[in-house]
Amino acid sequence: MELKRKFLSNKNILLALFALIVLAYPYIPLEGYYVSLGGWSFHMGIINNNYTLHVVVLIMLYMLLSMGLNIIPGYTGLLDLGFVGFYGIGAYTSALLTVNLAAAAFPLSLLGNFWVILPLAALNGALFGVLLGAPTLRLTGDYFAIVTFGFSELVILIVLNESWLTNGPIGVRGIAAPAIGDYVFTSERAFYYLILFMLILVIIFIKRIANSKIGRAWFAIRENEIAAEAVGINIIKYKVVAFAISASIGAVGGAFFARWMRFVSPDMFKFWESVLILCMIILGGLGSIKGVLAGAFIMTALAEILRAVLPYAEELIRPVANVELVGARYAVFGIVLIIMMRFKPEGLFPETRVIAEMHPSTDAILDAQTDTFWDKRRT
Amino acid sequence: MLTLEDIHTYYGNLHALQGISLSVNEGEIVCLLGANGAGKTTTLMSICAINRVKKGKISYLGRDITKMATDRIVKTGISHVPEGRRIFRELTIHENLMMGAFTRKDKKGVQKDLKRMYDHFPVLYDRRQQYGGTLSGGEQQILAIARGLMLRPKLMLFDEPSLGLAPKIIAQVFDIIKEINQSGTAVLLVEQNANAALKLAHRGYVMESGKIVLEDSSYNLLHNEQVKKAYLGAE
């Protein structure tokens, strides 16, 4: 009886409902309808077509990527501006292996299999993470950020110029879709379940690692490097581990992206992507899993909404000013972030640790004034 | 147990330590006095390799630890309570203490020591789920010391434990250091508060711009005219 009551608590029922909606989402038939308003007709409601499903897959891809990036600024407190480099490395690893080896003879064709590529891309990302991290993680603050920024630009330059391997600016086309046995992932529905599965795995993995000894070492480094050294944490080692894990999650996201889009080009991995993902985790709350997921959801959805709304706005202000507003969504992101920094600098769903830091209670001051602490000490 | 021989440390081009030689014996409290910028903190940082030593030799329990990495040095049982406390503000008291035992593998021993800390400092037990940043200055110093003790160290390095604390609390902190020493841990204490430090210590060194200028028993230092004038306030 007690067990039953515990199990059927409101929270669990809500969670189960949420899980059910997420699992069944691609099959929920929601029809849109049109509303006429003074000459324009608006499309209202959520329609469950390929487009919305595509956006939802994109949202989950960005959730996965922000989970990966979050390890660096969120857990170890370093500013990483080059995350898109690892994303690109993963995407090109996946694209090139698929295009070149999927149709090869048996043992080699395995390397073109999506399920083999995923761990390979993760390893490749980790390898580059270590190669970049080991020599540069001694740098602090802005210097480190500049090096990572340089790294992501370097990845693009190599992809652009080594056209014998990467096909240069034209990109790699005709990447086969992933498959399980004879079943080929062709519909957005299939990709929805694939990315959902990958996202859940990544969330579980990060949750576990954040609560482990490694996670605690990261938090200690984020807060106070000298104290972390003084208690015997090998700072460089734990930073490199963080960098490798973050890079491999980015590469896994890239590997999925290449097989989902079935086309990659250097344009897709510009610096802007790094900034966008960084904005997502800052908006949601650095270091908080819930916040990072929310941030990715809001920013990706907002981008799509703005894409649809801005042409209308352009038309509206045409009599007054003839300006192009389509590119203005970047400005909107900027405004959103400025408002956040002013009113809720810790993000929408911050970690409790960060709340405590940003809004210190007055208890500590009161304690310092009264002598209760010293009376309590046993003599 | 700890011997420094002719230690030279640099910050860039700045020659911060210009040939420091000192030693700490088993069961001893040794204090290191000196004005701001004399190199006291740098000496402690050099011992546990947070600052790299350019020249000289540091040996500890018969081993040469000059080139060892910080985490390995900590594993050998040297615990460093850094200046300005430097507790982990966003970790709970409990997590802070557990970080002190980061390099230890004996889980049972760690739990036992944790209980010992809570018994000894009940306020830490009362607040074990609070974040370190919510503690007052004196409590943070206690937490920093307790975190250092969680290593079960053979040698503890204290860097200005009285910094920014009320006089009454300073006395308590010094009592705790004395207790630690009486339970068999050697202590190297860096202090501005020369009077209190010399009363506590067995021996003392006086530093001036990167060099050791005086070495004596703490009784002699307390009554040394030069030291009285410079560090104790002339009477």
Best of A213, A369, A373 to mutate (most B CBs within 10 Å, chain B) = A373
Number of inter-chain CB pairs under 8 A, A vs B: 113
CATH of residue B32's domain is 3.40.50.300
Full 3-state SS string of chain B: CEEEEEEEEEECCEEEEEEEEEEECCCCEEEEEECCCCCHHHHHHHHCCCCCEEEEEEEECCEECCCCCHHHHHHCCEEEECCCCCCCCCCEHHHHHHHHCCCCCCHHHHHHHHHHHHHHCHHHHHCCCCEHHHCCHHHHHHHHHHHHHCCCCCEEEEECCCCCCCHHHHHHHHHHHHHHHHCCCEEEEECCCHHHHHHHCCEEEEEECCEEEEEEEHHHHHCCHHHHHHHHCCC
Best of B52, B71, B79, B105 to mutate (most A CBs within 10 Å, chain A) = B71
Examine the pLDDT at A370 and tell me if it is beyond 90: no
| A193 in contact with B, Cβ within 8 Å | no
User: Directed axis angle between helix B107-120 and helix B93-100, to 10°?
Assistant: 130
Centre a 10 Å sphere on the Cβ of residue A321 and count the other Cβ atoms it contains.
Answer: 8
Kindly state the tokens that stand for A325: 């507003």
Q: How confident is the model at residue A317 (pLDDT cuts 50, 70, 90)?
A: confident
When mean pLDDT is compared across A80-89, A317-326, B137-146, the lowest value belongs to: A317-326
Is this complex's ipTM strictly greater than 0.95? no
| A367 in contact with B, Cβ within 8 Å | yes
Centre a 10 Å sphere on the Cβ of residue A319 and count the other Cβ atoms it contains.
Answer: 7
Mean pLDDT of all residues belonging to chain A: 85
DSSP A187: S
Q: Flag whether B132 is in a domain.
A: no
Closest-CA distance, B119 to chain A, in angstroms, reads 9
- Name the residue of chain B whose CA is nearest to A223's CA: B88
Q: Flag whether B121 is in a domain.
A: no
Full residue range of the structural domain in which residue B72 is found: 2-81+152-232
CA dist A326 and B60 (Å) reads 68
- Name the residue of chain A whose CA is nearest to B85's CA: A227
| A14 in contact with B, Cβ within 8 Å | no
| B227 in contact with A, Cβ within 8 Å | no
CA dist B234 and A6 (Å) reads 72
Number of structural domains chain B divides into: 1
| A370 in contact with B, Cβ within 8 Å | no
Q: Along the 235 residues of chain B, how does pLDDT read in single tens digits?
A: 999 999 999 998 899 999 999 999 999 999 999 888 889 999 999 999 988 899 999 999 999 999 999 999 999 999 999 988 889 988 889 999 999 999 999 999 999 999 999 998 888 999 988 888 888 888 899 999 999 999 999 999 999 998 888 888 888 889 999 999 999 999 999 988 888 899 999 999 999 999 999 999 999 999 888 888 887 765 4
Q: How confident is the model at residue A369 (pLDDT cuts 50, 70, 90)?
A: very low
Q: Flag whether B94 is in a domain.
A: no
| A371 in contact with B, Cβ within 8 Å | yes
* pLDDT digits 0-9 by tens, A138-179: 887 789 999 999 999 999 999 999 999 999 999 999 999 998
Q: How confident is the model at residue A252 (pLDDT cuts 50, 70, 90)?
A: very high
| A267 in contact with B, Cβ within 8 Å | no
| B172 in contact with A, Cβ within 8 Å | yes
Inter-chain residue contact A220 with B138, CB threshold 8 Å:
no
B73 vs A contacts (CB less than 8 Å): 232
CA dist B155 and B73 (Å) reads 11
Among candidates B46, B100, B81, which has minimal Cα distance to B187? B81
Per-residue pLDDT at B120:
87
Among the partner-chain residues A232, A361, A374, the one whose CB lies closest to the CB of B75 is: A232
Among the partner-chain residues B71, B73, B86, the one whose CB lies closest to the CB of A227 is: B86
Inter-chain residue contact A231 with B91, CB threshold 8 Å:
no
Per-residue pLDDT at A36:
65
Q: Based on the number of CB atoms within 10 Å of its own CB, is A183 exposed (0-12), middle (13-18) or buried (19 or more)?
A: exposed
Among the partner-chain residues B88, B91, B138, the one whose CB lies closest to the CB of A373 is: B138
Inter-chain residue contact B70 with A229, CB threshold 8 Å:
yes
Q: How confident is the model at residue A293 (pLDDT cuts 50, 70, 90)?
A: very high
Q: Flag whether B184 is in a domain.
A: yes
Contacts of B162 (CB under 8 A, 6+ apart): B170, B173, B174, B191, B192, B193, B196
- Residue located via tokens 């086969």: A176
Q: What percent of chain A has pLDDT over 70?
A: 85
If one compares A296 and A368, the residue with the highest pLDDT of the two is A296
Examine the pLDDT at A329 and tell me if it is beyond 50: yes
Per-residue pLDDT at A32:
59
B133 vs A contacts (CB less than 8 Å): 356-357, 360, 364
Domain ranges of chain A: 49-364
If one compares A22 and A363, the residue with the highest pLDDT of the two is A22
Determine the residue type at A266: P
Inter-chain residue contact A230 with B82, CB threshold 8 Å:
yes
Fold of A49-364: ABC transporter involved in vitamin B12 uptake, BtuC (1.10.3470)
Q: Residue B36 — φ and ψ, nearest 5°?
A: -60, 135
Among the partner-chain residues A229, A234, A356, the one whose CB lies closest to the CB of B131 is: A356
Inter-chain residue contact A377 with B122, CB threshold 8 Å:
yes
Per-residue pLDDT at A118:
95
Give DSSP secondary structure letters for A293-324: HHHHHHHHHHHHHHHHHHHHHHHHTTTT----
Examine the pLDDT at A360 and tell me if it is beyond 60: no
Closest-CA distance, A235 to chain B, in angstroms, reads 9
If one compares B187 and A372, the residue with the highest pLDDT of the two is B187
